[in-house]
C-alpha cells in the first residue's frame, strides 16, 4: 500500500482521491499511520465481507435459542431507564 504524509495528502488532495480509486493509500502523521483513504467501492466491499464473516461465525457458534422480542424490549427499557437515572 502506498503511504504519504498528512501534509502531502493536504497539498495534493485531489490527486490522492484519484489515486485511492486504484488502491488504498495510508496517511501518516509524525511517522505513524493514522488513516487510510480508499474508494467507496472498495470500502463497501470490505463492509460486506466483514458482515458475511460475522454471519458465518454466528451460524457456526451454535444454537442461540428462540428470539423473544418482549424480553428484548423489556431489557432495552431497563437499560434506558438505568441510563436516564444516572
Residue pLDDT tens, the chain, 86 long: 999 999 999 999 999 999 999 999 999 999 999 999 999 999 999 999 988 898 888 778 776 667 788 888 888 888 887 777 76
Counting DSSP H helices and E strands in the chain, the numbers are 4, 3
Q: Give domain 2-85's CATH number out of 2.60.120.10, 3.40.50.300, 3.40.190.120, 3.40.1620.10.
A: 3.40.1620.10
pTM, two decimals, is 0.63
21 vs 38: CA distance, rounded Å: 7
Phi then psi dihedrals of residue 12, to 5 deg:
-125, 40
Distances, alpha carbon 79 to alpha carbons 32, 66, 71, 84, 85, in Å: 39, 21, 12, 9, 10
Amino acid at each position: 500500500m502506498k503511504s504519504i504524509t498528512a501534509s502531502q495528502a493536504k497539498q495534493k488532495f485531489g490527486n490522492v482521491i484519484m489515486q485511492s480509486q486504484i488502491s488504498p493509500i495510508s496517511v501518516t502523521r509524525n511517522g505513524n499511520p493514522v488513516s487510510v483513504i480508499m474508494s467507496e467501492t472498495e470500502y463497501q466491499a470490505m463492509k460486506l465481507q466483514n458482515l458475511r464473516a460475522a454471519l458465518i461465525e454466528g451460524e457456526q457458534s451454535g444454537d442461540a435459542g428462540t428470539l423473544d422480542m418482549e424480553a428484548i424490549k423489556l431489557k432495552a427499557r431497563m437499560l434506558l431507564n438505568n441510563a436516564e437515572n444516572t
